Structure 1
Amino acid sequence: MSRDPFSFNNPYLITRSLYPENQETPIHFIPSNHTPDHLFFRRNHFPYPTLNQSRFWIPIGGSVLNPTIFSNYDLLKLPSKTVNTVLECAGNKRNFFEPNVFGEQWEKGATSMGKWKGVSLGTLFEITGLEKDAKEVIVEGYDYGNRTDLDQIYTYTRSLPLEKALHPDTIIAYEYNDKPIPFKHGFPFRLVVPNWYAMASVKWIKQINIINTTFEGPFQTVDYVYYPKKENDEGSFLVTINNVNSTIQQPLHMEKLETGRHMIKGIAWTGKGEITTVEISTDGGETWSNAAIAHTDGVHDYTWSTWSFDWMVSEKGEFTILSRARDSYDRVQPPNPFWNQKGYGYNAIDQIKVKVE
C-alpha cells in the first residue's frame, strides 16, 4: 500500500551534543529544496559567541592596497548575489565508517540546503585592492574556545586559496531563505563557499586578512585533513570539495512495508558539476535501475537533486535497497568509503533495509 512519506509536518532536529550544540537535520523528512532555518543542521566547535554592536563590522586587511572596515550598511548597498547551495558537514555520515572513528557521530543529517543572499567576496576585494603577492584569504569567526588537544584558546579560523575566494559565488551572506541569517547559523555575516564542505563557510565573521604565505591554523592543518592511514599521518591532504553522494529518504531504514507499490525517494548532490544519474537497486546490488531525477524550477546552482523510483514489490521478505549517484565529472559513489582517521567525506553507496510483510 502506498502512502505519502512526507505527510508529517512536525519533524525535529536530532541531537548529537548539547555543549557545544551539534544537531542533525531530520533529512528523511525534508521534502523541499529549501531547508527551514529551524531544521538546518547545527555544527559548532565552541559555545555560541556573544552578540554585540562590534559584530556588525568586518575589517579587511593584510596584503591589500586599501585596508577597509565594512559595516552592515556598506554591504547592503553593494550589488547582491544569491546562491542556492548545499552545505554539508565534512563529518556527515561519520557514524557509518568501519572501523569506527572518533568525533561527532553524525548519521545522514549533517547536510542542509537553502538560498543565501549576500555580497561576493571578490566585490569587496575590488574596493580594497589586492597586493600582487596575495595568496590566501583568512576568515576568522567570533566563536572561540579551548582545544584540549593543543591546550590553547583558538578562534574558529579558516583560509581559502585566492582563486576560490575570488569565485563570484563565494559570498559573505546576510540572508538565508529571504530572511536575516538566524543567529545560530552565523548572524549577522557568514561566509558561504559552494561546492566545498561546510567547514569553509565560517560563521559570525570577525575579520578577514589576506596573506602571501600558507595559513597553518589548527582548523586548517590539524582538523579537516584526510589522514588515510591509522598508524601515522603519511599521505594526508586537505578536505575541500564535496564528494558525490546520495541519501535514501523514504522508506526508512528497517521499516516494515506491505506488498504493493512504494515510492523510493531521496536526494543526491556533488561538489563538481551536477548529478547526471541516480541508480537504485532493490536486491542488494545485483541489478540496478535508473531513478527519475526532478529538476526544480530550472534552478540548479549548487543544490541537491531530488529523485524517485517506483518500486512494485509482490513478494514478502527482507530487502536491501541501495542508491548510487554519478555526476557530470563521472564521479560515482563507491561501494566502500575512503576510510580516514577523522571520518571525513563519507560517500559510499547509500543503503537501507526494509521488511515486506
Structure 2
Amino acid sequence: MSEPKQPVVRPYLTTRSLMPENQETPIQFIQSDIVKHKLFYRRNHFSYPALSYSNYWLPIDGLVTSPALLSMNDLLRLPSKTLKVVLECSGDKRSLFEPKVFGEQWEKGAISQGIWKGVPLSALLEHTGIKEGAKEVVVEGYDYGERTDLDQVYTFSRSLPIEKALHPDTMIAYEYNHRPIPFKHGYPLRLIVPQWYAMASVKWIKRISIIGSHFSGPFQSIDYVYYPSKENDNNAFPVTTINVNSTIQKPLDMDILNTGKHSIKGIAWTGKGTVTKVEVSTDNGRTWAKANMDYSDDMSYEWVSWSYEWTILEKGEYTVLSKATDSTGQTQPALPFWNRKGYGYHAIDQIKVKAE
C-alpha cells in the first residue's frame, strides 16, 4: 500500500486586530524574496473604504499650473516603472520595546516585499507643472474614520517633501507582483515610497495636492513622530527613513535542536544605501562571524537574504544574535532607540534555542 498523502501545510497571517484589520506576515516561514499578496501584512487605521474601479478618477491640484483629473486609462498609458521594494510598518517589532509602549503589538512580521509597477509621481507632477513656492505633496487616501483622541473624522493623509516626491522611484503603483494591486493593499492606486517606512505609502489614493506650507494632518503631526520623552513632546522628530535592521527566520525562537550542523537564516534591510554586512553570534554577543549574503545586481530597495552555518558541539541553551551594517556605516545597536509611540525598532535581533 502506498503511504497516505500528508496534508499541505501553508503559513497564514497572524492577527493583531480585526476592526480595523491588522495582520502580520509569517516572516519566519517566508522563503522567497517576493511575498504573495495573501501573506502581505495588513496595516489599517480604519475600516476598508468602498471603491469602484469603473468611476475612478485621480485629481491633482493645488500649486500646479494645470490641474488634472486623470482616469485609470490615462495612467496606464503613461511610461511605467517596475521596482522590487520592501515595505515595513514603522511599528514593526514594537512588542520588543522595554519598557512597553502602547499601540499595535507587532512582533517581527509587519514587513513584506514584492514587485510594484506604476507611474513615477514626478511624471505626473511634470504633467501638471509645479508653481513656485511649492513645499510638499499631500496624498489623501479614501480610508477614513473617527480619531477618538481628537473626536473628529479624518481621512488618512500624508505629505512628502517636494524633493522626495520628485525622486524618480517614488511612484503611483497600480500593480503588485504583476497583477492589479489587491484591494486590501490599496487598489486601484497606492503610493510607493522606497526606503521610507510604509506609513508614507498611502493606500487607495483619492487626491494629490501640492501645498506651499508644512502639512499638519494628525497622521503626520501626532502619529508617526518619534517622542523620546515619556513626559512631554520635547525633541520630537518625524518618522521617515527605515533603520538598518535584520531578522532571524530560522531557527525559530525557543526551538529545541540536536547537536550537529544547523543553518541560521534570515533577512536584512535598510533605508539608506545597501546592506553590506550581516554578522551572527551564537554566544550572546561574545564573538561574531560574518554571514553569507545572497546579493542580486541592485539591492537598493530590497531585503538581503543571509545564512550562517553553525555546528553545535555541546548540549545547552544558546542565545543567537544577528546584526546588519549598511553602506552608510549604520549598524544595528545593542539597545533600541526607545520612543513613546514605539516606532523604528532596530536593535540587534535575538532568539534563544536549546540543544539536547
Q: TM-score range by the shorter chain?
A: over 0.9
Deviation per CA, 1:317-349: give whole Å up to 9, x if none: 000000000000000000000000000000000
- Name the structure 1 match of 2:176: 176
The unaligned stretches of length 5 or more in structure 2 are 1-7
Retained in 1: the 8 A contact 2:273–2:300?
no
Q: Distance in 2 between matches of 1:353 and 1:173?
A: 40
Aligned to 1:123, the other structure's residue is in SS state helix
Retained in 1: the 8 A contact 2:118–2:172?
yes
- Name the structure 1 match of 2:92: 92
- Name the structure 2 match of 1:267: 267
What's the offset of the Cα at 1:246? 0.1
TM-score (norm 2): 0.97
1:315 paired to 2:314: yes
Q: Distance in 2 between matches of 1:309 and 1:276?
A: 15
Change (3 A) 1:163 1:9: farther
- Name the structure 1 match of 2:101: 101
Q: Distance in 2 between matches of 1:81 and 1:121?
A: 11
Aligned to 1:87, the other structure's residue is in SS state strand
Aligned to 1:142, the other structure's residue is in SS state strand
Q: Distance in 2 between matches of 1:349 and 1:300?
A: 21
Q: Distance in 2 between matches of 1:304 and 1:138?
A: 28
- Name the structure 2 match of 1:355: 354
Q: Distance in 2 between matches of 1:330 and 1:28?
A: 27
- Runs of 4 or more, structure 1, over 6 Å off, are none
What's the offset of the Cα at 1:300? 1.8
Change (3 A) 1:55 1:139: farther
Q: Distance in 2 between matches of 1:11 and 1:78?
A: 37
Percentage of identical aligned residues: 64
1:339 paired to 2:328: no
Aligned to 1:164, the other structure's residue is in SS state helix
Matches within 5 A, 1:129-208: 129-208=129-208
- Name the structure 1 match of 2:5: none
Change (3 A) 1:166 1:356: same
Q: Distance in 2 between matches of 1:63 and 1:337?
A: 40
Compute the RMSD of aligned alpha carbons. 0.9
Deviation per CA, 1:284-332: give whole Å up to 9, x if none: 0000000000014x24230000000000011000000000000000000
Q: Distance in 1 between matches of 2:70 and 2:171?
A: 14
Deviation per CA, 1:159-200: give whole Å up to 9, x if none: 000000000100000000100000000000000000000000
Q: Distance in 2 between matches of 1:210 and 1:164?
A: 13
1:78 paired to 2:78: yes
Retained in 2: the 8 A contact 1:55–1:188?
no
1:319 maps to amino acid? Y
Q: Distance in 2 between matches of 1:30 and 1:119?
A: 29
Q: Distance in 2 between matches of 1:341 and 1:56?
A: 39
1:57 maps to amino acid? W
What's the offset of the Cα at 1:158? 0.2
- Name the structure 1 match of 2:303: 304
1:351 maps to amino acid? Q
1:325 maps to amino acid? A
What's the offset of the Cα at 1:53? 4.4
Q: Distance in 2 between matches of 1:161 and 1:127?
A: 18
What's the offset of the Cα at 1:9? 5.3
TM-score (norm 1): 0.97
1:27 maps to amino acid? I
